[in-house]
């Protein structure tokens, strides 16, 4: 699955989340967010497979260059053999053959060097793209988790404030009836608060 599609789904999850009654926070399903993060991580190996494909192409390019070099060498040998009519021609042919072979070897080396450079460049680009996408996904997930943490902290603070207010009110009720029989409704309210 495409990493960008997963990021869009994560944004939709946050956009569809229920808003908190206080502040800008929203309540999101933690399980669904973690599932999306797992899917993001598992979708990254596509770039790794792309890098492997480029490495495979490298072997094909090098093999093609080797075949081309062998063809050049064979043509040079044939050309040299055609010039072997007499001693002067043989000597000249040998010199030309050596020059042709040297040029063929140089050309083969240039072709192989170019192929190697292309493969290395593509491999670096694929690795950089994979790293960039992984970093972007991690940054986005970290930002979403930090927002969720802030929202949960705000929600926890609101709950604690409410509990404190209720406990304080419960303390006032119990001091009102010291020395006498407490009102049964107040006893029930206090018991509910303590639960």
| Chain segment 106-157, per-residue pLDDT in tens | 988 988 888 888 888 988 888 888 888 888 888 888 888 898 899 999 999 9
Phi, psi of 18 (to 5 degrees): -70, 135
Torsion of Cα atoms, 9 then 14 then 18 then 21, to 10°: -170
Residue 28 DSSP class:
-
| Chain segment 10-61, per-residue pLDDT in tens | 788 777 777 777 777 777 777 887 887 788 777 766 666 677 777 778 778 7
Q: Given pLDDT bands bounded at 50, 70 and 90, which one contains residue 179?
A: very low
Q: Report the C-alpha gap between 8 and 66 in whole angstroms.
A: 47
Torsion of Cα atoms, 98 then 103 then 107 then 109, to 10°: 50
* pTM (two decimals): 0.34
Cβ atoms within 10 Å, residue 171: 11
For residues 22 and 80, is the Cβ–Cβ distance under 8 A?
no
């Amino acid at each position: 699955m495409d990493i960008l599609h997963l990021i869009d789904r994560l944004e939709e999850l946050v956009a569809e989340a229920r808003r908190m009654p206080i502040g800008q926070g929203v309540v999101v399903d933690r399980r669904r967010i973690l599932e999306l993060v797992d899917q993001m991580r598992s979708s990254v190996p596509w770039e790794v497979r792309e890098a492997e494909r480029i490495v495979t192409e490298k072997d094909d390019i090098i093999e093609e260059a080797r075949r081309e070099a062998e063809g050049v060498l064979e043509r040079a040998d044939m050309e040299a053999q055609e010039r072997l009519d007499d001693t002067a021609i043989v000597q000249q042919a040998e010199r030309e053959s050596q020059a042709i072979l040297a040029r063929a070897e140089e050309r083969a080396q240039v072709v192989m060097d170019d192929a190697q450079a292309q493969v290395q460049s593509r491999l670096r680009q694929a690795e950089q793209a994979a790293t960039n996408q992984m970093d972007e996904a991690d940054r986005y997930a970290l930002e979403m988790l930090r927002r969720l943490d802030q929202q949960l902290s705000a929600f926890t603070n609101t709950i604690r404030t409410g509990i404190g207010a209720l406990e304080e009110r419960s303390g006032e009720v119990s001091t009102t009836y010291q020395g006498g029989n407490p009102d049964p409704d107040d006893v029930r309210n206090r018991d509910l608060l303590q639960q």
